[in-house]
Amino acid sequence: MAQMPALLPKEVEIQRLKKIWLIVIAMGSTAASVEVDNFVDGSLHQTSIRDSAFTPAHWWLYSHFVTLPLGWAAAGMYDRKVPILRGPNNSINTGLKMTILGYLATMFTIGVNEMWHFWFVEEIFAVPNHWMFNMGVVVAFMGALAYVVRVYARLVELGAETPGENPYVAEMYKMALEGKLYSRSIP
Amino acid sequence: MTLPKGFGSGGGGGAGSADVEKMIGRRVENMTGMITLSYIAAWLATFGGTAAGYFFYPWAYPTPSGHYAFIVLTLVEAIGYLFCVKVMQEGTQKNSNGIIAVTLAGTAIGTVAIVMFVGH
């Protein structure tokens, strides 16, 4: 993607990108909290196997899998105010799209998982209904990384952030600005 | 530059500083109060969540386990809070280090007090 002409004053764009940054930090903290609960929930399942869906570890885990897609969707709604972050054909940014879809998958997996455990009252880590949680999170993380790098690269371009000193990292930001980080055609 | 309806002088011109201010709304460097309140709310909710574990499911969540989760999550939230305020104020004249210090010290003392006196 070639450099786009400025569509809004620089100061306005920096403020909007930083508001996106606030949502990203909140979502990152939430994702870190899920990682803590992975251990809490795994610990409980080693002790009690599965007595009920309504355990504190599940309230904790499942509430995040509703919060994360909704929070990233809020980022997606606000993201429309920054034209340079738009995806192909003026759609939602590709990284953001992947993040929302990934976490939506985990949200629907809550239902799939409970249906599975209605019949199979075990907690074997490797059962297929659990794969969907992990695959959704991996897709979401990949998308979030692409989006965060894009936002950061734009802040660097606007002079609001300092570019990375490591030449390899600096090269990555340069490629992101040119739209070549993970595709030549998808911004 | 094409501006949205209601902005600019209505022909030629471009964005004046009043237009820019109107497009920005509340500046991120002035959001410290909201960010601080959100952090405290998140910290209290974390206490409520872990307390629900050791008060209602003591057979599954021993109190020290709940307190451990509470400490780890307080650290995660504190780092997020610090990032939020510092990143929003970088490159400006605003400085809320005092508020950050008081808030982080308050939640640190609160965390230690909760771990020492609640749930035993």
Task: Tell me the per-residue pLDDT of A28-82, one tens digit each, with 9 for 90 and over.
Answer: 999 999 988 888 888 888 887 777 788 888 888 999 999 999 999 999 999 999 9
Q: For A107-121, what is the mean pLDDT?
A: 92
Q: What SS3 class is residue A119?
A: helix
Over range B45-59, report the average pLDDT.
89
Domains of chain A by residue range: 10-177
For residue A91, give both structure tokens: 């759609």
pLDDT at A154 over 60: yes
Geometric angle at alpha carbon B115, from A29 and A68, rounded to 5° = 20
Radius of gyration of chain B (CA): 22
Between helix A10-48 and helix B32-56 the angle, nearest 10°, is 10
* A128-157 vs A56-79: helix crossing angle, rounded to 10: 40
Are A48 and B58 in contact by the 8 Å Cβ rule? The answer is: no
Could A8 and B60 be called an inter-chain contact, meaning their C-beta atoms sit closer than 8 Å? no
Shortest distance, CA A60 to any CA of chain B (angstroms): 8
Q: Does residue B14 carry a pLDDT above 80? A: no
Burial B79-102 (b: 16+ CB within 10 A, else e): ebbebbbebbbeeeeeebeeebee
Indicate the residue of A9, A12, A56 with minimum beta-carbon distance to B57: A56
Q: Which residue of B has its CA nearest to A28?
A: B80
Answer whether A21 sits within 8 Å of B87, measured CB to CB. yes
The answer to whether residue A184 scores a pLDDT higher than 70 is no
pLDDT at A179: 66
- ipTM of predicted complex: 0.80
**Position B93 pLDDT exceeds 60:** yes
- B75/A contact by beta carbon, under 8 A: no
10 Å Cβ neighbour count for B54?
22
To the question of pTM greater than 0.90 for the whole model, the response is no
> Does residue B77 belong to the interface with chain A, where contact is any CB pair within 8 Å?
yes
The whole-number average pLDDT for the span A104-131 is: 92
pLDDT at B115 over 90: yes
Domain range list for chain B: 1-25, 31-117
| Cβ contact, residue pair B61, A44, below 8 Å | yes
Whether residue A28 and residue B80 make contact (CB cut-off 8 A), yes or no, is yes
Give the residue from chain A lying closest to B55, CA to CA: A56
Nearest to A145 by CA among A14, A7, A31: A31
Contact assignment for B24 to A47 by CB distance below 8 Å: no
| Number of Cβ atoms within 10 Å of the Cβ of B50 | 27
Ranking A5-19, A39-53, B68-82 by mean pLDDT, the lowest is A39-53
Question: What is the average pLDDT across A9-37?
Answer: 93
Whether the CB-CB separation of A21 and A76 falls below 8 Å is answered with: no
Q: Do A56 and B83 touch (CB under 8 A)?
A: no
Reported confidence tier of residue A162, pLDDT bands at 50, 70, 90: confident
Put simply, whether A53 touches B (Cβ < 8 Å) is: no
